[in-house]
Structure 1
């Protein structure tokens, strides 16, 4: 295994150092380097906090900044941050209006975020939104069901914008819970993930195979199928997504094609074209688009398709200015 690193043990810490040095206009380390927070916090604004294991960059640290997250904490590769890290993020980011924690639906994340919240409940007002947009684990009886994957970006952006507008903690909780039910994601991979600590890939495929329904921790999917053309693969993803979500009256769609770490932009745009054509055929109005590598699984050669059905208010929040290392627009 060849990677640009010094040792597997120091890879995450050294990567975080480089990230903060590269994006000093947006972020600084929190106390004892337990979290990364916005360089300039807004007094009496609800703090939006998230986090997870390393290996998903630019999520979550790349989304710390104006209009999105106020702080993020990073665990070891594919490992939840500790309660101590999460408490540090809460203590650093809370400027008087409380904190909303956005948590991906994995057992380790849920357990550690809940533990951290309990430990500082006497000092901070807090709520949590659990993101569970991955349709492929629904109903199979494993863990807590649907995982939080690329749709987490959509939830973080919309809640972050709402907080920037001065909305109260209970309003942000309501927005996040309602939005989560209208976001669906499915991924596919052509290769497994090379984990630095083990120097092994999480699963192996031959030249004629692909893995459908993969997660962002290198997990294999629900089925191994014959490799096909991009149009066939993307149609399969979109059919599954659309079969799992109903179109509310007046909803407007955000279509997001995300690279999982090892897929070049040309292939992501090609996949977006196929997904957009699929949605057009079904009269699903695509009002907003996002294409790029935002929620990764280290070096996995794969992609995911996310469909988010948004209200007019949520479209406005999506369009609101954002200034982070990974996501930036003025209006």
Structure 2
């Protein structure tokens, strides 16, 4: 194992500290308990938005803290949910009097710990709503979930809900936007290689040199099938066809197409995949109105990709285009 680390037990703390130093104009970092929060939080009269989960998926979630997106993010250990205490501390830190929305990926530990934190916040008279993201069409249940996993769609929910909160929407309205996005977004991914969790020191699963896992989870959970290496266009088809069939599409819709790298995939390959995904959408009479390509929700150094399609309406397009200033997404300011 080769990694640029010191003590494996200190990886998250040292990385988050470095993140805070690098982006001190956008965020501040609290270490005990650990969370990342907007530098101007709490914003009076604004709905606060908190997300979080296991580390190792950077830039998710801390990279999306800032104007127009998240108010706070709570990092757990690598691939491990944060506990209720830092989630509660982050919730209190962003409470500007208009309530707080928790955006939670559908993993059992995340769901339970965010629920516990919400109950504790309620006892302190903070109104909390939660939206659980479950956009992965690959499998119904996995090692970490009951029901579908939350994956690439999380980034899009955080952006659009964050924009709604930034413009002054109520907690109910922000939650409705988040639910609407979740209902209209689907994702599926694949892996060419496993990743190595620092404290484990060995690959999270094994793949032969000529094998690919279709439908992999962001923690290395098994997918739908294991196949031999195939041309890129064939791989894209294996991902995007189930995504489009699951929504489903009648033709004439507008979408946001998001091709995401899993951490170890170069952009040249992601854009190659985007080209094929765009061809498939065009063949189904679906218009790509917005796009996103890059490593935005990763699995450490895993080589692979995911494809996410969000069916858009006018309000979603307006919210996507709204100004945002975070470490990982920024435009319009």
User: Given the two structures, how large is their TM-score scaled by the length of structure 1?
Assistant: 0.97
Aligned to 1:183: 185
Residue pair 2:153, 2:308 contacting (<8 A) in 1 also: yes
Distance (whole Å) between structure 1 residues aligned to residue 131 and residue 236 of structure 2: 29
Moved more, 35-44 or 157-166: 35-44
User: Given the two structures, how large is their TM-score scaled by the length of structure 2?
Assistant: 0.96
Distance (whole Å) between structure 2 residues aligned to residue 30 and residue 97 of structure 1: 23
Distance (whole Å) between structure 2 residues aligned to residue 233 and residue 141 of structure 1: 24
* Superposed CA RMSD: 1.5
Task: Note if 1:239 corresponds to 2:247.
Answer: no
Query: After the TM superposition, which segments of 4 or more aligned residues of structure 1 sit over 6 Å from their partners?
Result: 139-142
Task: Note if 1:12 corresponds to 2:12.
Answer: yes
Match of 1:97, SS?
coil
Residue pair 1:54, 1:78 contacting (<8 A) in 2 also: yes
Match of 2:248, SS?
coil
Distance (whole Å) between structure 1 residues aligned to residue 250 and residue 158 of structure 2: 22
Q: Which digits, 9 at most, give the CA deviation of each residue in 1:213-245, with x for residues without a partner?
A: 011112222210111011110011111111111
Of residues 201, 208, 211 in structure 2, which corresponds to 1:209?
A: 211
The answer for unaligned runs of 5 or more in structure 2 is: none
Residue 247 of structure 1: CA displacement? 3.0
Distance (whole Å) between structure 1 residues aligned to residue 252 and residue 317 of structure 2: 12
Distance (whole Å) between structure 1 residues aligned to residue 251 and residue 203 of structure 2: 44
Match of 2:193, SS?
coil
Q: Which digits, 9 at most, give the CA deviation of each residue in 1:150-171, with x for residues without a partner?
A: 1100000000000001000011
Q: Which digits, 9 at most, give the CA deviation of each residue in 1:25-76, with x for residues without a partner?
A: 1100137252100001321100011000000000000000000000000000
Q: Cα distance 1:139–1:120, how it changes in 2: closer, same or farther (>3 A)?
A: closer
| Aligned ranges 1:14-93 → 2 under 5 Å | 14-30=14-30, 32-41=32-41, 42-93=43-94
Q: Cα distance 1:250–1:164, how it changes in 2: closer, same or farther (>3 A)?
A: farther
Residue pair 1:30, 1:92 contacting (<8 A) in 2 also: no
Q: Cα distance 1:203–1:311, how it changes in 2: closer, same or farther (>3 A)?
A: same
Match of 2:49, SS?
strand
Residue pair 1:190, 1:211 contacting (<8 A) in 2 also: yes
Residue 251 of structure 1: CA displacement? 3.9
Residue 252 of structure 1: CA displacement? 1.6
Distance (whole Å) between structure 2 residues aligned to residue 156 and residue 283 of structure 1: 28
Distance (whole Å) between structure 1 residues aligned to residue 249 and residue 322 of structure 2: 24
Distance (whole Å) between structure 2 residues aligned to residue 295 and residue 284 of structure 1: 25
Distance (whole Å) between structure 2 residues aligned to residue 237 and residue 229 of structure 1: 13
The answer for unaligned runs of 5 or more in structure 1 is: none
Match of 1:44, SS?
coil
Distance (whole Å) between structure 2 residues aligned to residue 177 and residue 15 of structure 1: 32
Q: Which digits, 9 at most, give the CA deviation of each residue in 1:125-163, with x for residues without a partner?
A: 110011000011227898421110011000000000000
Residue pair 2:251, 2:286 contacting (<8 A) in 1 also: no
Residue pair 2:108, 2:144 contacting (<8 A) in 1 also: no
Residue pair 1:31, 1:88 contacting (<8 A) in 2 also: no
Distance (whole Å) between structure 1 residues aligned to residue 164 and residue 332 of structure 2: 15
Match of 1:298, SS?
coil
Residue pair 2:13, 2:31 contacting (<8 A) in 1 also: no
Residue pair 2:184, 2:311 contacting (<8 A) in 1 also: yes
Aligned to 2:116: 115
Match of 2:222, SS?
coil
Residue pair 1:202, 1:220 contacting (<8 A) in 2 also: no
Residue pair 2:141, 2:147 contacting (<8 A) in 1 also: yes
Aligned to 2:102: 101
Residue pair 2:281, 2:287 contacting (<8 A) in 1 also: yes
Aligned length, in residue pairs: 331
Aligned to 1:225: 227
